[in-house]
Amino acid sequence: MLYREAGDFKTTYAKDQALIPIRQDRVMLYIAIALALLLPFVASDYFLGSIAIPVLIMVIAATGLNLLLGYCGQISLGSGAFMAAGAYMAYKCATAFPWLPMPVSIILAGLATAMIGIAFGLPAVRIKGFYLAVATLAAQFFLLWLFTHVPWFVNYTMSGVPTPPPATVLGVYVTGADAPNWAKYLFVLSFTAFLTWIAYNLVRSRIGRSWMAIRDMDIAAELIGIRPLWTKLTAFAISSFYCGVAGALWSFCFINTVEPTAFDINRSFQILFMVIIGGLGSILGSYFGAIFITLFPIFLNSAPAWLGLDIPGDIITHLEFMIFGAMIVFFLIVEPNGLARLWQLGKEKLRLWPFPH
């Protein structure tokens, strides 16, 4: 199958504005959806539970940060804490209103996290760059402190680390210890797919253009009539919503506990690196970033064994840091649009192939 734009002429602007204007891209999307739906039938339980589920959840978090950082240009080092907020809010919601369908509890948790995001995004109205980074870092530490020290958030559980309540969708358990991996996978997949679609809609609408305008030249944006306050706060709210949903799914469908250590500062940096390596300002890049950052350490851990080498674990951990560090520096300096840009370049080459002129 050749990748072509030529010959695929648009006769109306409406067609040119379709979500995916190029036909081959559409076909690729259908194939990807089909593969994602078929995965439970072919993949091992380990792959579903330990790779596919966390990757899909991190795609949501990375997309959230990408909307804020890649599209609106506002830095946040608090994504981990917003995930935590989502996890704790979903726990509170699911235990306080057990009759609520689980997807509703998770969406409500996302909305509550959006409110928290707005509160911590308020400084962005006045400050930028480094100072904003520090302010969001404060959010990271404050929120985690709050969830650890106020027992109300864990319903006064003695251990302080409660287990999410089991819940069913269409009669199948999707959360809790008894939920099968394939059901959790499909549950998470539907959130990821839905939120990806929403993200694409947002960035091709007025709000997406307003975010990018603020990112690229905030003064000109304001003089055109874009309100910086409203625009930045919606970015914080929506980004936090995504992180909140991701955090709830992480606790409910992956680690099966609600605990702060899963959402510490390392998590925030991990999400940031996904966005940088995947591609700032690209939704598809969030997928690349989440897949790469999750799979690469696994690959690094198993590659020596495949090659018959015996490399100690701590060296591999160091190696991992060094390679990630080098890649982040590379992408920040050479290719801020990350893997997504490399992907696009590949497509452009293919589009002209075999006649490059």
Each as own residue / partner, the long-range contacts of residues 131-134 (CB below 8 Å, 24 or more positions apart, any chain) are 132/74, 132/75, 132/76, 133/75, 133/76, 133/77
Least distance between other proteins and beta carbon 278 (Å): 16
Q: Amino acid identity of 180? A: P
Residue 214 makes CB contacts below 8 A (sequence gap 6+) with 72, 73, 221, 226, 228, 231, 232
Question: Which DSSP helix (H) or strand (E) runs through 100?
Answer: none
Find, among 159, 131, 133, the residue nearest to 265 by Cα: 133
Least distance between other proteins and beta carbon 210 (Å): 6
The tokens describing 164, both together, are 């999410």
Least distance between other proteins and beta carbon 234 (Å): 7
DSSP alpha helices (H): ranges in 153-180?
none
The answer to whether residue 128 forms part of the interface with other proteins (CB under 8 A) is no
Closest to other proteins by CB, 193 vs 311, is 193
Closest to other proteins by CB, 218 vs 264, is 218
- The phi and psi torsions of 338 (rounded to 5 degrees) equal 60, -160
Least distance between other proteins and beta carbon 51 (Å): 30
The answer to whether residue 65 forms part of the interface with other proteins (CB under 8 A) is no
Binding to other proteins in span 176-235, by CB under 8 A: 198, 201-202, 204-210, 212-213, 215-217, 219-227, 234
Cβ atoms of residues 302 and 320 within 8 Å: no
Tokens 């949903």 correspond to 245
Output the DSSP codes for 184-237.
HHHHHHHHHHHHHHHHHHHHTSHHHHHHHHHHH-HHHHHHHT--HHHHHHHHHH
Cβ atoms of residues 263 and 81 within 8 Å: yes
Closest to other proteins by CB, 68 vs 262, is 68
Q: How far is CA 42 from the centre of its chain?
A: 25
Closest to other proteins by CB, 38 vs 350, is 350
Q: Which stretch binds other proteins (CB under 8 A): 10-18, 111-119, 151-159, 183-191?
A: 10-18
Cβ atoms of residues 309 and 328 within 8 Å: no
Least distance between other proteins and beta carbon 337 (Å): 9
Least distance between other proteins and beta carbon 228 (Å): 10
Least distance between other proteins and beta carbon 72 (Å): 12
The answer to whether residue 13 forms part of the interface with other proteins (CB under 8 A) is yes
Site mask, other proteins, residues 247-286, x = CB under 8 A? ----------------------------------x-----
Least distance between other proteins and beta carbon 61 (Å): 18
Least distance between other proteins and beta carbon 310 (Å): 47
- The phi and psi torsions of 354 (rounded to 5 degrees) equal -95, 15
> Number of residues in contact with other proteins, rule: CB under 8 A?
30
Residue 142 makes CB contacts below 8 A (sequence gap 6+) with 81
Closest to other proteins by CB, 2 vs 219, is 219
Closest to other proteins by CB, 84 vs 202, is 202
Closest to other proteins by CB, 23 vs 227, is 227
281 backbone φψ class: left, alpha, beta (φ>0; ψ -120 to 50):
left
The tokens describing 79, both together, are 């994504």
Angle between helices 79-96 and 102-121 (to 10 degrees): 140
Closest to other proteins by CB, 227 vs 349, is 227
Among 1, 2, 14, 309, binds other proteins (CB under 8 A): 14
Site mask, other proteins, residues 18-37, x = CB under 8 A? -x------------------
By CB under 8 A, name the binding residues for other proteins.
13-14, 17, 19, 198, 201-202, 204-210, 212-213, 215-217, 219-227, 234, 281
